[in-house]
Structure 1
Amino acid sequence: MRPIGGPFVLTFKQSNANRIYCLNAEAERQGLHRGMAYSDARAFCPDLQSRPADPIGDERFLNVLRRWATRYCPWVGLEGADGLVLDITGAAHLFGGEAMMVTDMRQRLSRAGLSVQVGFADTRGAAWGLAHYGEGLAETGRTLDALGPLPVMALRLEDKTVTALQRLGLRTISDLVESPRAPLTRRFGPGLMMRLDQALGRQPEQITPLADPPHYGVRITLPDPIGLKDDVMAGTSRLLDSLCAKLKAREAGARILCLTLRRVDQEAQVVELRLARPLRDPQRILPLFERGVADVDAGFGIDQMRLEATQVLPLPAQQISSVTSSRKDQLEDLISRLGTRIGLENIQRVLPADSHIPERSFLIAPAAYSEPEGPWVALRPRPLSLFPPEPIAGVGAQPPKQFRWRRMALSTARATGPERITPEWWLEDDNWRSGVRDYWHVETRQGRRLWLYYTPQNPGWFAHGEFA
């Protein structure tokens, strides 16, 4: 976090135009507001500074702030994309009253470098209006006195409704309260009066707190310390049964499991298991722990075991078929076993790529984080072995009758081609700057089957691959 002096805004792109996403107090004093076109804002304020907004990061931070706010009360929910709503009923006296609670909030957030607007009232709607347009505390039973001077937009109304009310001369909430309800309901619908009644406490409005994310962890405390591998594996089996039951109930699968073994001397041994695919089958997961458990130093004994799924991914239920093969499961288990030794990232597979350039016709990806794709589509045969181009002696556009390659004298028996491949001009590649290539499949009398190419722009012959 870096403080910036002067007017500052965050911008986002909407309908091919940059608009203001958020702004500081200095920018507001210059007459700028949210949703304003950035070009108009620069016309009003030439020294305006800006940065691109990060809505995803803001949402993540707001959820972190929501968890922090549970120190004041258990009922904390999100209010739009930039606010929190707290139901402090029965909790304010723990901080010395509402005023002391608000003061404590301000001080803690200020020390964290955050500037906030706080509204306190008997109702959710009134608190929202005070936080956005009044910032203050409404005394109990005197909500209308605090809301009356505020503009009608403090009732969480749509922009078109606010504009229409202002044209009728209803600019404040007091003006709206003193107006007849029936004509306003006929003209604007029941939503207008509902927002007014919610703010004044005539109609209830609940706060729905966000549920904490599910915790996938189980533990067991042993009456007597254990140290044998078989005993640890038996305990791990019990933990896996409980954990996988939780995962199955939420249609999820564990990708990373962490087994913590606490010894009697309060030291802990940790066994981490990374799986090639999300799993929730205890019988498949348990054997994968054997290698890690065998390396554990039990010391004077283990008295507590804890198993936690630190990375969980969705794993919906699938229809079981009579033709389902177990070969895929066996391959995934093998990848997991090897991954515990050399790392999952080091087990790789080759995937087809959409490119006619030989070097770019495939991708190498970690097998644990990719799915096999296919079938491979090639209009012409491709060599099994592909290596960097190696120059050979040859003259003319036809394959040479005799040439030397890797200190071997070879003579051409049959040549098939040419297959012309043009470079991808939109990509930078020094190996293809010589222009098009004419590829030939050359079979030599000595038994070698090579993939040669000729460059017409800069005449020369090269060997690029070898067929099986």
Structure 2
Amino acid sequence: MFDGTRRRVVSLWCPRLASDRALRARPTEGPFALTLREKNADRIHCLNAAAEAQGLHIGMGLSDARAFCPDLTTRPADPAGDRQLLLILRRWATRFCPWTACDGADGLLLDITGSAHLFGGEAALLTRMRQRLIRAGFSARIGLGDTRGAAWALARFGEGVAAPGDALAALAPLPVAALRLDAETVTGLQRLGLGRIGQLAGAPRAPLARRFGPGLLMRLDQALGDQPEDISPQADPPHYGVRMNLPEPIGLESDVMAGAGRLLDRLCDKLARHEAAARMFRLSLRRVDHDTRHVELRLARPMRDPARILPLFARGVAGVDAGFGIDQLRLEAIDTEPLAPRQISPDGAPRQDRLDDLITRIGTRIGIENVLRFLPADSHIPERGHIIAPAAFSRPEGIWHTPRPRPLIMFPPEAIGGTGTTPPVRFRWRRMGLTTARSTGPERIAPEWWLDDPAWRTGLRDYWRVETREGRRLWLFHTPQNPGWFVHGEFA
């Protein structure tokens, strides 16, 4: 009988956490799997029971999986979303005990010492935990023991309960892999005929330590309780949200901005204490009729300076219908990032800060993703010498490598009349008759064979800079393999 003084640990394992999450959002009948690209190949990341029944397994190539199961339904995996879900489950598990922590990418650890009697005993607690997970659409396996190692082994290899003080009786029939050993050590033990934990526990310890090192015996002792293993409870992430309840409703824009300023001071202080900054804020304004209006602000850079952030709310607040008045304000930092303290310049805001504020102001009108900038790209192909990226999520970094001058204006190649390998003396382009005054070249550019670009399938190009007597400065190229002349750009 458990006396309440012995430590008891629960290991909760969700072997299909990722696929269960995907199927909860969009249910699918039949075999289902999530895929993840690894080493230039799509492989199975997680799958449901129907797919396992068809012989599929994690790590299997997607092409092989479709050969085994032609009716397999797949979706791309979302590891970041799975990690977020595990954190949500960890917080949910605190209803059973305060000492909870994540265990890997698909498991939880709970130290239920002194908590089981609140739910009618250990059996009732485990039953309630399993029923709630099944009701939510998650498949789970649960192990309970005196140690973290014993609970982990029982959840993944036995799904059982070890009696208090007798972990060896429950672990003896389990394979040695249940001791959280690496594959090489497991294979070596199996070659010695030590395939079960009971066999390993009864074997001489000195030869095992000499052959496999101290890690093997440490894992065994941790599982049996002969060596301690701590379980550190995982702290909840800081919540960046503040609110203000008003004794009397307000409706003027200046009053709302004043209240938002007070909330912003408190929120930015909290961000500074945690050395964080926010990319996105949400100001919620609750009206007296219980209708809530939201004002979202997306920033070009993570910030925590109230003086710079508050004026950016003015446009959104001005468009809010206050109705019969607003009686509550709530401000949240939705998207946060680490931001270490930095030296403040006595000369005022740096130039980059002013540019970021400008990008934010423009972004509030047209969308922060629609403010774009050009960045250099490592390619000798003229059309691929740059990329276009959102200015809010990129920095003007890198060097523009231009070994030869490039035209300011580029357009799809336009054919002109001409023969030979040197620019034609006279030619017509866009209904204009032009005469070559001076030409510089050629600059030969070859296609990038590793990319299938339809525009460059014709092969080599010899580029020339041509100055015409009419004042046009054009960029022409000749294709030797299929003789022809084209205009590709114009210099300023």
Q: Distance in 2 between matches of 1:159 and 1:443?
A: 70
Q: 1:275 to 1:386 in 2, by over 3 A?
A: same
Q: Distance in 1 between matches of 2:52 and 2:407?
A: 66
Q: Could you tell me which residue of structure 2 aligns to residue 408 of structure 1?
A: 432
**Shift of the alpha carbon at 1:335?**
0.7
Q: 1:253 to 1:425 in 2, by over 3 A?
A: same
Q: Which amino acid aligns with 1:56?
A: P
1:128 aligns with 2:152: yes
Q: Distance in 2 between matches of 1:109 and 1:147?
A: 25
Pairing partner for 2:79 from 45, 51, 56: 56
Pairing partner for 1:229 from 253, 256, 266: 253
User: Which segment drifts farther, 232-241 or 458-467?
Assistant: 458-467
Pairing partner for 1:71 from 95, 112, 116: 95
The percentage of counterpart residues that share the same residue type is 65
Q: Secondary structure at the match of 2:144?
A: coil
Q: Secondary structure at the match of 2:234?
A: coil
Q: 1:370 to 1:27 in 2, by over 3 A?
A: closer
**Shift of the alpha carbon at 1:274?**
0.8
Pairing partner for 1:217 from 241, 264, 269: 241
Residues 233-382 of structure 1: pairs in structure 2 closer than 5 A: 233-319=257-343, 326-382=350-406
User: Which segment drifts farther, 307-316 or 121-130?
Assistant: 121-130
Q: Distance in 2 between matches of 1:348 and 1:286?
A: 24
**Shift of the alpha carbon at 1:251?**
2.1
- Count of aligned residue pairs for this structure pair: 460
Name the TM-score, length of structure 2 as normaliser: 0.78
**Shift of the alpha carbon at 1:259?**
0.7
- Once the two structures are superposed, residues 147-172 of structure 1 have per-residue CA deviations (whole angstroms, 9 ceiling, x without a partner) of 45555554445666667777887776
Could you list the runs of 5+ residues in structure 1 that have no partner in the other structure?
A: none
Q: Which amino acid aligns with 2:319?
A: D
Q: Which amino acid aligns with 1:348?
A: L
- 1:102/1:118 contact within 8 Å kept: yes
Give the number of the structure whose alpha-carbon radius of gyration is greater. Answer: 1
Q: Distance in 2 between matches of 1:23 and 1:293?
A: 47
User: Which segment drifts farther, 255-264 or 12-21?
Assistant: 12-21
Q: Which amino acid aligns with 2:342?
A: Q
Q: Distance in 1 between matches of 2:342 and 2:278?
A: 16
- 1:219/1:307 contact within 8 Å kept: yes
Q: Secondary structure at the match of 2:267?
A: helix
- 1:9/1:48 contact within 8 Å kept: no
Q: Could you tell me which residue of structure 2 aligns to residue 450 of structure 1?
A: 474
User: Which segment drifts farther, 356-365 or 420-429?
Assistant: 420-429
Q: 1:191 to 1:416 in 2, by over 3 A?
A: closer
**Shift of the alpha carbon at 1:360?**
1.6
- 1:352/1:363 contact within 8 Å kept: yes
Q: Distance in 2 between matches of 1:278 and 1:310?
A: 11
Q: 1:425 to 1:227 in 2, by over 3 A?
A: same
Q: Distance in 2 between matches of 1:448 and 1:332?
A: 38
**Shift of the alpha carbon at 1:231?**
1.2
1:425 aligns with 2:482: no
Q: Distance in 1 between matches of 2:210 and 2:457?
A: 73
Q: Which amino acid aligns with 2:79?
A: I
Q: Distance in 2 between matches of 1:409 and 1:13?
A: 55
Name the TM-score, length of structure 1 as normaliser: 0.82
Q: Distance in 1 between matches of 2:472 and 2:110?
A: 78
User: Which segment drifts farther, 19-28 or 330-339?
Assistant: 19-28
Q: Distance in 2 between matches of 1:299 and 1:174?
A: 73
- 2:407/2:490 contact within 8 Å kept: yes
- Once the two structures are superposed, residues 399-448 of structure 1 have per-residue CA deviations (whole angstroms, 9 ceiling, x without a partner) of 23333222223222222222222222332333333332222222222222
RMSD over aligned CA atoms reads: 4.1
Q: Which amino acid aligns with 1:431?
A: A
**Shift of the alpha carbon at 1:322?**
7.7
1:399 aligns with 2:447: no
